[in-house]
Chains A and B, each alone.
Chain A
């Protein structure tokens, strides 16, 4: 009895995560107001963190929330408030171009599923010891790890420089 309740809550939460991901994405793309878009993006990122957690990786889920919602979304909020102008935002009405993503992604999905045919599922989403990530980052992935830090420094300094130069092009 208690077991089925737990299971039902689990499936309900998973359905809510899926709704959060796809519904948030649709709001982020189709809403006329950029603030609503921003909150749709936050909802979608939160749902993606839930998917990562379901795939057995709490570390990546926490990183997703910290970096995306904590840093990138705050930066986007500043960007929205710094560059807002009435009558400028919104979406163009859908026309024949809307077929491009549908056709392209359907083809991608078909080829992906066809490519999966010969593969066997060798593992399942279970929680494992994630402390190995730290060792791997400091051993075989040391060089990309350092390059990422240099890239972040250069990107942030470059962004500040671009945004602060006050001259007419």
Chain B
């Protein structure tokens, strides 16, 4: 019970949650069938990374500001990456009428 009471302020919990989110995202990258599903899994991966950076920066460093600024930059770059990814997905859908990753095999040989 003593351990449970300190759980919301425990570095290890955040690390485990971040890694679990990373594993979920990796699973989605392997088993999703569409490009949009890939994008959703990619966002989950980036969330895992962000939680890790925030947790380490909060508990292991004197000044937590650097971790927060890094997390803000990660959020900004993820927004840019999502925009580019969606543009590519729409372009692929216009040209091939599908975004299923198993059907996009024109360069397969």
Binding site for B on A (CB under 8 A): 10-11, 14, 18, 21-22, 25-26, 28-29, 34, 37-38, 41, 44-45, 48, 51-52, 54-57, 59-60, 63-64, 67-68, 71-72, 75-76, 78-80, 82-83, 85, 88-92, 94, 97-98, 100-102, 104-105, 108-109, 112-113, 116, 119-125, 128, 130, 132-133, 136-137, 141, 144, 148, 151-152, 155-156, 158-163, 165-166, 168-169
Counting chain B residues whose Cβ lies within 8 A of the other chain, the interface size class is: 35 or more
Smallest Cβ distance from A85 to chain B, in angstroms? 6
Whether A51 touches B51, Cβ cut-off 8 Å, given contacts A71-B79, A83-B93, is yes
Choose among A75, A137, A148 the residue that contacts B83 (Cβ–Cβ < 8 A): A75
Smallest Cβ distance from B44 to chain A, in angstroms? 5
Do residues A54 and B15 form an inter-chain contact, with CB atoms below 8 A? no
CB pairs A–B below 8 angstroms (19 shown): A28-B28, A41-B40, A44-B44, A45-B47, A55-B54, A56-B58, A68-B78, A71-B79, A75-B86, A79-B36, A79-B90, A82-B93, A105-B23, A109-B19, A122-B59, A123-B61, A130-B68, A156-B83, A159-B84
A21: chain B residues at CB < 8 Å are 17, 21
Do residues B17 and A51 form an inter-chain contact, with CB atoms below 8 A? yes
Smallest Cβ distance from A17 to chain B, in angstroms? 9
Smallest Cβ distance from A162 to chain B, in angstroms? 4
Whether A101 touches B23, Cβ cut-off 8 Å, given contacts A28-B28, A75-B82, is yes
Whether A128 touches B64, Cβ cut-off 8 Å, given contacts A48-B50, A60-B71, is yes
A109 and B19 CA atoms in complex are apart in Å by: 7
- B62 lies within 8 A of chain A by Cβ: yes
A168: chain B residues at CB < 8 Å are 95
Do residues B60 and A92 form an inter-chain contact, with CB atoms below 8 A? no
Do residues A22 and B37 form an inter-chain contact, with CB atoms below 8 A? no
Binding site for A on B (CB under 8 A): 4-5, 7-9, 11-12, 14-17, 19-28, 30-37, 39-41, 43-44, 47, 50-51, 54-55, 58-62, 64-65, 68-69, 71-73, 75-84, 86-91, 93-95, 97-100
Do residues A91 and B33 form an inter-chain contact, with CB atoms below 8 A? yes
Whether A29 touches B15, Cβ cut-off 8 Å, given contacts A123-B58, A133-B69, is no
Do residues A25 and B21 form an inter-chain contact, with CB atoms below 8 A? yes
A128 and B98 CA atoms in complex are apart in Å by: 49
Q: Which of B16, B44, B55, B60 has the most CB of A within 10 A?
A: B44
Smallest Cβ distance from A155 to chain B, in angstroms? 4
Do residues A162 and B87 form an inter-chain contact, with CB atoms below 8 A? yes
The 8 closest A-B pairs by CB, nearest first: A159-B87, A155-B80, A29-B28, A101-B26, A105-B23, A162-B87, A83-B93, A25-B24
